Every structure is written in C-alpha cells, then in structure tokens.
C-alpha cells in the first residue's frame, strides 16, 4: 500500500502524534520531485552538503514556488542558483508537524476548519474581522489597497475600478448588517472617491472609465449596484444615467457590448453581462421604466440559449443574482428555472468534481477545464453569493430538495472562504498583522491579498449569515 492510501496527507499529525518529522527514504530526481511535491505538505531535503532543506511551511510563509525555494537553497551555500538542476542531484521529501506558540498545530500555515464549525457565532466573529480590516486599511482619500504582498510587506501601484467597487458594495452590506455608522461613512468616502475618479458623462448617459482608460460595461454596472446597495429608494439621476448606458450597451439580440470603444467586443462577457443584468434588475425593481424589464427578458432569452450550447460557470453567479431578483419581483417561472439550471450546473462542474485536499474543500475549481479559472478566494466568494440567491428562490418556491442541495454547497464554499481568511493566529509570520487580519488569501498556497477577495467575501458572508444556513440542512 502506498503512502497516500495509508493515511491522508493532512491527517498525518493525528496518526504520528509522537513524531516531529517523517522522512520518506527514496531519492527523487528533480522531475520526480515536481510530480510528488505538494506545497505546504512536503518539506524538501536536497542531497548535497549539509543543511540544504526547507520545512513544509516555509514556501507558504515566503510565498515562493518549489523552484524559487531550491534556487534560494543553492544560494545559501554559495552555489550557483541552478545547482538543483545538476546532473545526478537527488531530493527527499518529508512531512513535519508545525506547532506555534508551543501549542497550536497548523496545517499549511492555517488553523484547520471543518464545515461543522461554521456557526452563527463564528460567522459573526469573522464578519467583524472584515469590518475591522476595512477600517484600519482605508486610506485618507477613501481608497483601499488593491494588492498587498504580506511576505515582502509591499503594495502594488495597480488599481481596478470594478474590484474597488465590489468592495465598496461589500462595505455597505457590512455596515447595514452590523448597523455600523463608522463603516457606513467609510463606504460613502470610498464611493465618492471612486465615482469622482472614474465616472464620466456623455450625451444622455454616464459611464465609468477604469484605470486603463477603457470604459467597461462591468464598471458602470457595479457603480449602480453600489448606489442601490445603500439607497433603496427612488432611482437617482446618476443611477438613471448609468442605466441608460447599460441599456445602450445591450444589443438587439440580448447580448452585451462589453467595452464602449469596441462595438463587437465580447471580452469579459462572462462577468460583465451578469453584472449588467443584476444592475438592471435592481433598477427595474425601483423604477416604472419598462425598458429595464425588457432588457432582462432579452438577456434571459439570449444567454440561456448560449449557455445551453456551451456552459461556462463564470456566467453563473451574476446571472443567478440577476434572475433571482427578477423572479422575486415578477414571479416569472422561466427566471426561476434559469436560476436553478445555473446553480445545478455550477455545483456539478465546479464543486463536486474537485478532488481537493481537506483544507481546500469547498473551493470552486475543475482541473479538466483550466480556462474556467484557477482556485481563487474571489471566485469562491462570488460563487457562494450567487448560490445564496438560488437558495432564496428555492425557499420562496418551497423546494426543500433544492434548498438542501444549495445549502450544502453554500456551507462548503463558506468553509473554504473562512479557511483563507487571515486571523491573528495565522498572521504569526507577518511583520504587520493589521495589514492582513480580516482580509483573505488568494488560496491555501498563495497569501497575496487582492481587494476584491475582501469585497466578494463580505457580500457573500453577510448573506450566508442572514439566511441562517448554519442551523439547517446539515
């Protein structure tokens, strides 16, 4: 029986509690090492000289790949950085318990979390951590750091309007859920900065330019969603003008032009179309303008036919939001069927088919379709949020079977999200914990913080908490 069959990788500590380090005494070539090595699970001993090894957690703390770690080992003893490629070089892997503060055992720098541990109290605690991070890290001009690299304590100068606006949307969702006036003011400040920086007016409509100078459909849609998120009254003139832009960008067949300067563009349609339809659904529910309803009808007809022929899960979360809202407003049966079809397809292709390690369970990923995207906490956040809308439709219709299925998927996704959230315990190696605690890593093996990871998680977790899914359908 091989090692993998004998014991699960992350259950090793329980089976070998008395051991600090377990070596596997078979020598590997570099190509064999590349196939066997699992980041954060395996340490590596390079069989050349003394002390040429790294512990399993070191690459995760440093956010380095296997190749980068081996180059560093070569350099530490004065060898050429490519010494690991030398003919005849051999390696051994080992697994080792990771204990900090004398008592806390970590797996891949994380505190293991099970689905059963997701309680209302835990959600409340983690939601407050997000709010704390937002307050501590908002800059005087209202902006938030777009990219932060904890291992080097460095920020990127890049920015992105859509991802900033998603996080502003999350700020307002948190402020409302927590009844937090300080956070509400932070959201207003961030919104004012974003709109002042990116919004432009044209003849009869308004639209947003992103950091690269292009006017995307998605940025204008997110601006509407931000404003609708904290003002559910009559549609304002600015929202109306942005709505005109969204209507202008929809083609007669129901599809969307995704960039103003490119009439034939379909770039990022898998994201922007759903964002636009969700904004139109929000406007439709607050306005007597039937053009919004007509746009939703055309969008439904076009995209359901398109996705039936070529399903892409990246369309699913925003389209679920849009047509769940439209269904709850109109009770159009076709909208409910579309939402369920998307939710079921998402679960079957991106969740149930993933052969993940225990600390990755609940991520949305399909190895067979790399074009559908890598594992990423921002993706998990928006997928979970979308599924909460499908759950809401199922609940409205009294469909307990679908409620149970969607609740299970939502809680698995929530487990994955919370596993990737920085906490005081998991920030043990970071020079400035206040810059990460409450925010989210990209994945188990990538500790980079990108702002929309926070925004998507905030939007999702607030809805999970409000639906009280932790108390049902276990």
pLDDT band at 23 (very low <50, low <70, confident <90, very high): low
Q: At what angle do helices 316-330 and 333-346 cross, to 10 degrees?
A: 150
Measured between alpha carbons, how far is 469 from 362 in angstroms, rounded to an integer? Answer: 15
**pLDDT higher than 70, residue 2:** no
pLDDT band at 355 (very low <50, low <70, confident <90, very high): confident
pLDDT at 405: 97
Whether 61 and 429 have beta carbons less than 8 Å apart is answered as: yes
Phi, psi (degrees; rounded to nearest 5) at 449: -105, 120
- For the chain, report the end-to-end CA distance as a whole number of angstroms: 34
Q: Does 56 or 355 have the greater pLDDT score?
A: 56
pLDDT at 257: 97
Whether 100 and 428 have beta carbons less than 8 Å apart is answered as: yes
pLDDT at 240: 96
Model pLDDT for residues 381-433, shown as the tens digit of each residue:
999 999 999 999 999 999 999 999 999 999 999 999 999 999 999 999 999 99
pLDDT at 474: 43
pLDDT band at 351 (very low <50, low <70, confident <90, very high): confident
**pLDDT higher than 80, residue 231:** no
Averaged over 357-386, what is the pLDDT? 94
Our CA angle for 12, 16, 18, nearest 5°, is 140
Calculate the alpha carbon distances from 298 to 15, 171, 252 in Å.
Answer: 58, 32, 8
pLDDT band at 25 (very low <50, low <70, confident <90, very high): low
Averaged over 341-356, what is the pLDDT? 88
pLDDT at 304: 97
pLDDT at 11: 40
Phi, psi (degrees; rounded to nearest 5) at 471: -100, 5
Structural domains in the chain? 3-106 (3.30.1490.150), 115-471 (1.50.10.10)
Measured between alpha carbons, how far is 388 from 433 in angstroms, rounded to an integer? Answer: 31
């Amino acid at each position: 029986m091989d090692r993998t069959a004998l014991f699960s990788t992350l259950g090793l500590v329980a089976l070998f509690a008395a051991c600090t380090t377990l070596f596997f005494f078979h020598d590997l070539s570099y190509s064999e090492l590349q196939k066997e090595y699992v980041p954060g699970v395996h340490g590596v001993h390079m069989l050349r000289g003394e002390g040429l090894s790294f512990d399993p957690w070191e690459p995760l703390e440093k956010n380095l790949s296997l190749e980068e770690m081996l180059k560093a080992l070569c350099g530490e003893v004065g060898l050429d950085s490519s010494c690991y490629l030398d003919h005849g070089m051999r390696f051994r892997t080992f697994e080792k318990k990771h204990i900090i503060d004398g008592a806390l055992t970590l797996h891949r720098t994380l505190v293991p979390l099970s689905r059963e541990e997701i309680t209302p109290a835990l959600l409340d605690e983690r939601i407050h951590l997000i709010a704390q991070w937002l307050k501590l890290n908002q800059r005087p001009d209202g902006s938030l750091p777009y990219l932060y690299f904890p291992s080097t304590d460095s920020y990127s100068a890049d920015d992105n309007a859509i991802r900033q606006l998603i996080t502003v949307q999350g700020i307002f969702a948190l402020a409302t859920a927590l009844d937090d006036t300080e956070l509400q003011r932070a959201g207003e400040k961030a919104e004012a900065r974003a709109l002042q920086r990116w919004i432009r007016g044209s003849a009869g409509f308004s639209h947003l330019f992103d950091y690269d100078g292009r006017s995307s459909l998605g940025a204008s849609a997110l601006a509407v969603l931000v404003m609708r998120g904290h003002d559910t009254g009559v549609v304002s003139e600015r929202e109306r003008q942005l709505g005109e832009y969204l209507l202008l960008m929809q083609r007669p067949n129901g599809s969307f032009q995704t960039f103003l300067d490119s009439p034939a563009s379909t770039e990022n349609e898998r994201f922007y179309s759903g964002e636009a339809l969700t904004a139109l659904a929000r406007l439709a529910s607050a306005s007597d303008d039937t053009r919004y309803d007509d746009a939703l009808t055309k969008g439904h007809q076009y995209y359901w036919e398109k996705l039936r022929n070529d399903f892409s899960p990246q369309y699913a979360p925003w389209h679920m939001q849009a047509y769940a809202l439209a269904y709850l407003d109109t009770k159009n049966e076709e909208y409910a069927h579309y939402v369920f079809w998307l939710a079921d397809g998402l679960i079957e292709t991106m969740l149930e088919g993933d052969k993940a390690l225990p600390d990755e369970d609940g991520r949305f990923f399909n190895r067979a379709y790399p074009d559908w995207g890598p594992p990423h906490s921002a993706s998990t956040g928006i997928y979970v949020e979308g599924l909460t809308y499908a759950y809401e439709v199922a609940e409205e219709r009294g469909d307990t079977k679908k409620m149970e299925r969607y609740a299970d998927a939502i809680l698995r996704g929530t487990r994955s999200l919370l596993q990737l959230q920085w906490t005081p315990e998991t920030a043990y190696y970071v020079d400035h914990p206040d810059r990460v605690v409450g925010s989210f890593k990209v994945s188990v093996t990538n500790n980079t913080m990108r702002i929309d990871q926070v925004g998507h998680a905030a939007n999702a977790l607030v809805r999970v908490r409000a639906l009280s899914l932790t108390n049902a359908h276990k």
